[in-house]
Amino acid sequence: MPITVHAVKHDGILHFEWQTTLLQETHQYVLVYGQPGRSLVHQTRQKSFSCATPSLECYDLQEGYTVNLYLEPDGERYYCNNDRPFRLTGFWKVG
């Protein structure tokens, strides 16, 4: 199922948003897949970027961290973010 992820700063201001595909949702985490070529909108800089590589993104709903795996042509790259626990609302709001 296609969804939009909205990442907000601590003060609630929208920071990033991007389209992704929901793979799995449990009470503990949400797992999504980012298609190559998806657009990442950086709201605070008012710029858009194209993401060339696919990604798997895991959002923990209890502990407040994310783990992203980017599948680069020359290998994988990981990104982890620690924050407060994430919330799911009528639209996807992460952070």
Mean pLDDT across 5-13: 80
- The tally of domains found in the chain comes to 1
Look up the CATH number of the domain holding residue 33: 2.40.380.10
Please give the residue range of the domain that contains residue 70.
2-94
**Across 11-20, 38-47, 54-63, 68-77, least confident range:** 11-20
Residue 94: Cβ-neighbour burial (10 angstroms; 0-12, 13-18, 19+): buried
pTM value is: 0.79
Whether the CB-CB separation of 50 and 41 falls below 8 Å is answered with no
